[in-house]
């Protein structure tokens, strides 16, 4: 691979290949306090890097994508990303090769070998740009509304419950949920008005480590999906079961999906009934209005040549 490249490390498993990353150029190890787009802007300066390697999960890859796109916009120089799947959710590589062909350990090894040999192909992924609470965000995967957000701070719970913190957080989130009364516009027209438990603007067929939202979704075709759970389709007592079964949302009769989304607007009908929004594994918080659009082919992604389609 042409050197140097900039590597963002955010998973212990990535340290197995730290010597490979070190030979390629600068490495940056993420701490819980780091905001990756800001950190990359600070440490990955100039146009001397051939790519940015994301050694982590989807949250890391999403923020690396955001930073790379902003660098391209400001400097006019294309900087591809290489997501190496060390995380729980690895939906960018999975969308590249297809769930049925994806083996995480094998894909990691092929990426590491390709860093040494330089045998990559380049694909162009769509990127979601959206505005919430007066701020601008970018994400290659999707935006979570309602049920999927992480409202409870896991870091605090870990100090009390240790490894059980994620289970406790999930129970707390579900227990505190009530349906949100919102208006949804897709491509400029009102698509839905009423109460929903949850929704997702999706750019990939899976999210959160293999949860299938819609088969046949291609993050390179300039279109998004909207996936939502209307309140009339599920009772509160059903929510825990629905959460545990989310790996097969495509076949769940309670869930509604629509393709062909290019712009979206989500707003609270009642100003006091805010929508909980999350992206890249991070909770933005409660907002009254979200507007977004798809930017076709905005993100160059490197893929080991063996997997190129």
pLDDT tens, position by position, 177-205: 677 888 999 999 999 998 888 788 989 88
Measured in Å, how far apart are the chain's first and last C-alpha atoms? Answer: 20
Same domain, 156 and 79: no
- Domain co-membership, 99 together with 118: yes
Whether residue 87 is found in the same domain as residue 147: no
User: What's the structural domain count of the chain?
Assistant: 2
Residue 70 lies in a domain: yes
Would you state the torsion angle of the CA atoms of residues 273, 278, 282, 286, taken in this order, to the nearest 10 degrees?
-10
Q: Are 97 and 175 found together in one domain?
A: no
288 plus 148 within the same structural domain: yes
Burial of 98 (0-12, 13-18, 19+ CB in 10 A): exposed
Say if residue 197 is in the same domain as residue 71.
no
Report CA 206 to chain centroid distance, whole Å. 10
**CB burial string 204-216: b at 16+ within 10 A, e below:** bbbbbbbbbbbee
Taking the C-alpha atoms of residue 43 and residue 252, their distance in angstroms, rounded to an integer, is 45
Q: Are residues 106 and 158 in the same domain?
A: no
Give the residue numbers spanning the domain of 224. Answer: 130-295
Q: Is residue 267 part of a domain?
A: yes
Residue ranges in the chain modelled with pLDDT below 70: 1-3, 31-35, 41-43, 45-47, 76, 146-155, 166, 169-170, 173-177, 208-213, 236-237, 239-252, 281, 309
* pLDDT at residue number 298: 94
Six-digit token pair at 154? 């896991």
- Number of Cβ within a 10 Å radius of residue 54: 32
Examine residue 175 and state whether it is found in any structural domain, yes or no.
Answer: yes
Residue 77 and residue 183 share a domain:
no
The reported pLDDT for the residue numbered 148 is 42
Q: The whole model's pTM is what?
A: 0.84
Same domain membership, residue 252 and residue 121: no
Examine residue 1 and state whether it is found in any structural domain, yes or no. Answer: no
Q: Rounded CA gap, 125 and 51, in Å? A: 15
Q: What is the CATH number of the domain that holds 167?
A: 2.60.200.40
- Asked if 96 and 121 sit in the same domain, the reply is yes
Q: Does residue 282 share a domain with residue 140?
A: yes
240/109 same-domain check = no
How many angstroms separate the CA atoms of 119 and 152, rounded? Answer: 42
């Amino acid at each position: 691979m042409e050197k140097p490249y900039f590597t963002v490390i955010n998973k212990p498993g990535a340290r197995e290949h730290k010597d490979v990353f070190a030979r390629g150029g600068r490495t940056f190890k993420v701490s819980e306090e780091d905001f990756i787009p800001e950190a990359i802007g600070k440490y990955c300066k100039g146009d001397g890097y051939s790519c940015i390697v994301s050694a982590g999960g989807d949250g890391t890859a999403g923020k690396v994508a955001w930073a790379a796109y902003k660098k391209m916009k400001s400097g006019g120089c294309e900087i591809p990303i290489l997501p190496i799947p060390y995380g729980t959710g690895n939906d960018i590589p999975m969308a590249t090769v297809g769930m049925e062909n994806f083996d995480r350990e094998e894909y990691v090894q092929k990426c590491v070998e390709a860093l040494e040999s330089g045998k990559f192909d380049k694909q162009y992924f769509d990127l979601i740009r959206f505005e919430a609470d007066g701020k601008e965000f970018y994400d290659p995967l999707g935006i979570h509304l309602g049920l999927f957000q992480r409202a409870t701070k896991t870091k605090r719970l870990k100090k009390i419950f240790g490894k059980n913190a994620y289970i406790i957080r999930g129970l707390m989130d579900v227990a505190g949920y009530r349906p949100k009364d919102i208006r949804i516009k897709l491509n400029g027209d009102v698509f839905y008005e009423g109460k929903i438990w949850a929704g997702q603007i999706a750019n990939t067929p899976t999210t959160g480590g293999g949860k299938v939202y819609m088969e046949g979704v291609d993050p390179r075709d300039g279109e998004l999906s909207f996936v939502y759970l209307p309140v009339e389709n599920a009772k509160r007592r059903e929510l825990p079961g629905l959460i545990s079964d989310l790996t097969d949302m495509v076949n769940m009769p309670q869930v509604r999906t629509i393709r062909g989304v290019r712009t979206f607007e989500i707003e609270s009908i009642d100003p006091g009934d805010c929508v909980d929004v999350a992206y890249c594994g991070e909770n933005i918080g409660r907002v009254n209005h979200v507007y977004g659009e798809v930017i076709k082919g905005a993100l160059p992604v490197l893929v080991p040549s063996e997997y190129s389609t």
